Structure 1
């Protein structure tokens, strides 16, 4: 399997498939998943002639599981290592949920010289947790509850999340997919306990307000109207105000897991943005 080694000797697994001479599209996944969660989008864009690349974040999936480095700066540095290793240029960068935060921090921290466009889906920026400067955020007690549930019974917690709010299966009239639930659980349980636990603070407390303001390339925001994991009011509706060249598309009735629950529409939006 292909890996890139970071400065702290962490082995980051990546996929590099599709048309090797096509325009690159680089994907960053959400918590506590891995690059497999982008398989529908990678297959679709690969069929349309694009080079599609995705990595497993440190501690997640097939990447190694260091005790440290579970913070957004290091995540973005690991992504840069993938870019440099594969000599990626003129890419479209796509991130879901925590991966959307990774995309925004990458662009704010490392600039846009290698990236021409970006898409964030159900993403965490600007910041999720409630504080004086973020009155629309979620109380810290919500995320403390995540940590407590992990410590009490991670395996059950990692069933409860996809069975309910992640895919929106707890909403009236929703049709659930046992396969998606099991896939989420399998990916989540591949993540190291320490990384999954630490990342709760990363995705809830990292403030990307300054990063959003720095970005000088077109950014498309896709967000579900009924996202229960990253409520739209404090994320997409605030983030769009900070971007220089931002476009927001709201999916009516959409849940958090748009790449899984609105596959055709997300694929179409990605392809249209690539061609625009």
Structure 2
């Protein structure tokens, strides 16, 4: 079922709640500039195994409202906290991919891991996001030819071959976002750092990262593993930035094993 949750006056987030009677809730935070639909190949499988899967489109992306402001990690984490409160979630697994991983880290740090029993970081954009050079290039593209930018993002996203139809579907996920929110998150990824947050993470943490990631280097996953206590790193040897699709069977099985 899908519904909207108000996170502040005039701003509602879209939430997809699959198998709401499932015994083990998993909250999924997508990457930039996509939506919860990027996890389609988890939602196809995990709810049938008894898990409750909750996909949240952050503000400015997917089906959520697209205000002109609020695209920093604190505000985005606050939005997630509001959704968690409204849904009365507790003892849930928080999964964050790429920028969603950065938001998950800030949520865990800012709210002392409220409700989070386990944390899964997938090719997380942390402790840093984009280099200044990369960010400025993407920013120029986003503000002048966003469809071309999205096509180039898709081309660097995956290590394995993707079909033309899949590529077009993926591009359209990114184009659902507003241009201004797409640009604002690029700036956040360039300017905000998460070093101080890492020592505050206390939940058992699984770090998943594609060895061939051209978006967020694998070395950053190794750094996260060093700085987050009670963490484990599992490299995906046949993936770039999207192991949730490129090695989806392995990914889904690993999630099940880690969550229990």
Q: TM-score over 0.5 for the alignment?
A: yes
SS at match of 1:33: coil
In the alignment, structure 1 residue 167 sits paired with structure 2 residue 158: yes
SS at match of 1:6: strand
Give 1:149's match in structure 2, choosing from 141, 163, 167: 141
SS at match of 2:125: coil
Contact kept, 8 Å, 1:29 with 1:56, in 2: the verdict is yes
Aligned to 1:133: none
Query: How far did 1:73 drift?
Result: 0.7
Contact kept, 8 Å, 1:19 with 1:46, in 2: the verdict is no
Q: Distance in 1 between matches of 2:22 and 2:247?
A: 28
Q: Distance in 2 between matches of 1:149 and 1:76?
A: 27
In the alignment, structure 1 residue 216 sits paired with structure 2 residue 202: yes
SS at match of 2:214: coil
Aligned to 1:250: 235
Query: How far did 1:154 drift?
Result: 0.8
TM-score relative to the length of structure 2: 0.96
Aligned to 1:59: 60
In the alignment, structure 1 residue 239 sits paired with structure 2 residue 224: yes
Cα separation, partners in 2 of 1:200 and 1:25, compared to 1, 3 Å: same
Query: How far did 1:116 drift?
Result: 0.3
Q: Distance in 2 between matches of 1:247 and 1:203?
A: 24
Aligned to 1:115: 116
Aligned to 1:36: 37
Query: How far did 1:43 drift?
Result: 2.5
Cα separation, partners in 2 of 1:206 and 1:180, compared to 1, 3 Å: farther
Q: Which runs of 5+ in 1 are unaligned?
A: 130-137, 169-173
Alignment of 1:1-276 (within 5 A): 1-129=2-130, 138=131, 140-162=132-154, 164-168=155-159, 174-233=160-219, 235-275=220-260
Q: Distance in 2 between matches of 1:42 and 1:108?
A: 27
May I ask how many residue pairs the two structures share in their alignment? Answer: 259
Query: How far did 1:21 drift?
Result: 4.2
TM-score relative to the length of structure 1: 0.90
Contact kept, 8 Å, 2:3 with 2:15, in 1: the verdict is yes
Please identify, of 255-264 and 83-92, the stretch whose mean Cα deviation from structure 2 is larger.
255-264
Query: How far did 1:218 drift?
Result: 0.3
Deviations along 1:2-31, whole A, 9 cap, x unmatched?
101012431100011115141110000000
Q: Distance in 2 between matches of 1:189 and 1:31?
A: 11
Cα separation, partners in 2 of 1:204 and 1:41, compared to 1, 3 Å: farther
RMSD over aligned CA atoms reads 1.3
Q: Distance in 2 between matches of 1:193 and 1:199?
A: 10
SS at match of 2:145: helix
Deviations along 1:96-127, whole A, 9 cap, x unmatched?
10001111010000112301001010111111
Contact kept, 8 Å, 1:101 with 1:203, in 2: the verdict is no
